[in-house]
Every structure is written in C-alpha cells, then in structure tokens.
Structure 1
Amino acid sequence: MAFTVHERLAADTLHMAELDLCTLLLMRDHRFPWTILVPRRDNLRDYHDLPREDALQAFDEIVRVSNALSAEFRVDKLNVAALGNQVPQLHIHVIGRYETDDAWPGPVWNAGPVESPDLTIVEDWRQRLGSHFP
C-alpha cells in the first residue's frame, strides 16, 4: 500500500515538495510561513519511532527547511515542534515567526481566524522554498 498523509493534515495543508524522506507541506494559513514535514513511513507517531538512519535524515531535512524559511522569509524566530496530540501520524512543524505576527509570543495554534492563501501566494512560496530543494 502506498504511503498517505493523514486526512486531517491533507485537509489543512498544501503539498510543496517531496524531500528524500519527508513530504513537505504548507499550512493553509499565510499569516505564518508554516511548513510541516511528514516522514514517508507508516505507523509512526513519535520522533523516537523513526529508525536511527531515518531520524538523522529527518533532522537534516528539518535543518534544510529551517534554513530555507530563514533565508526566504527573514523570520525573527523559528519554532520546530512534533506534537501529534490531534493527528496520530508523525509530522514536524517548522514555523517561521515574527515578533509582529498575530500570535507572538504565544503559539500559532488557535491564534485567530485562519487566512487561507490565494494561488499566487502559494505559487510564490512554492518557488521560493523549492529553490532550496533541487
């Protein structure tokens, strides 16, 4: 059976790229440069469930996405988290934060109404981030 992203993640995100291990998604809220990495491995809930080799690859991809967000969006802070309380599939949030954003200094979850990006924003972000993942 082919790997699939959990239905809740699929509903809340847009596909950005396929990295060596992870599928890179963009959260449907353009107030924040908010990406999600989903390792393409079945039946994983927590980071420590990854085999060592995959855990190292996932860490490398977290760093690459962090560097891309930092370079392209000039964020003040990067938040990296793997909570999984609501979605039982391992996924890692890499979120660019600004001291002026709607949620600062609190978490981005439930920080006001979601602002879905239009297609021009999505394509711009896909191009900008994609340039870091040839």
Structure 2
Amino acid sequence: MALRNSSFHLLFLCILAATTRASDAGGMPQLQAFDCSTADNYTATDAYAANLKQLLAALPTNTVSKNGGFFNGRVGQGAATVYGLALCSVDFSRSDCKDCLTTASSSSGGLLKICPGSVNVSAILDQCLLRYSNRNFFRTAQTGM
C-alpha cells in the first residue's frame, strides 16, 4: 500500500511541476548564464557590427520558422564575418523561443547591451540559447561557459 501511495505522490508532483512550468512559459525570457569576450572587441562603426546586427535580426525567423528550432550561419566575409548559432528549448513553444531570440538580439536590452563590443558571446536563456563569434566555432565543442 505504501508503494502505491508513493507512486501516486510522485505522479502528482510530476503533473504539478509540468503544470507550473507550462504556466510560466509565457513569461519574459530569463537570462541564466552568459559569457562575453573582453579582447579584440569591435566598435559601432566596424563592418563586424553591421554584420552582427544583420545576423541577430534574422535569427528569430531563421531559427523558429525555417529550421525547426535550430540555426547556424554566418554573415560577412573575411575578418568581419560573424558566425552565429541559436537553439530553442524543447520545454517551450516556438512562439516563446521566437520571443526569447528577439529579446536576446534586441539592441535596446539584449546581448548587445549586456556585452557591448564583444566579438565572442554565449548566452543561455530559459527559452533559448544564442552564440556568436568572429571565429568559426561550428563543429567545435564548448565545454564551459
């Protein structure tokens, strides 16, 4: 009998946790962790800055609408190339992920404000993940934040 009650309580807690998580899903994305470079930074007039803004503007649509929740790509050529990657959390809707990427990539309150001038940025939000760099990091594991 105790096992049956324990199973019921575990099931109840799982349902409660899922319900609570679903009710929180519509909220503003919360920044969980981030890393900003401090060397080789760019200025607002650099070609890198223009390419970064172009990449960040395209990320929400490219990630959610065109690629099923994942995107990696680049903008620019030579030293001004920006490599970017975005990933949606499976715990949230595509709409929540699009909102998350839009917030993270906005110039008024997103990563450009949190990490001004940084060429290498990694950010984990509760609803999405975003990374950009002046170096091609595709097929290279990042083991820390």
Under a length normalisation based on structure 2, what TM-score does the superposition of the two structures give?
0.29
Higher helix share: 2
Under a length normalisation based on structure 1, what TM-score does the superposition of the two structures give?
0.31
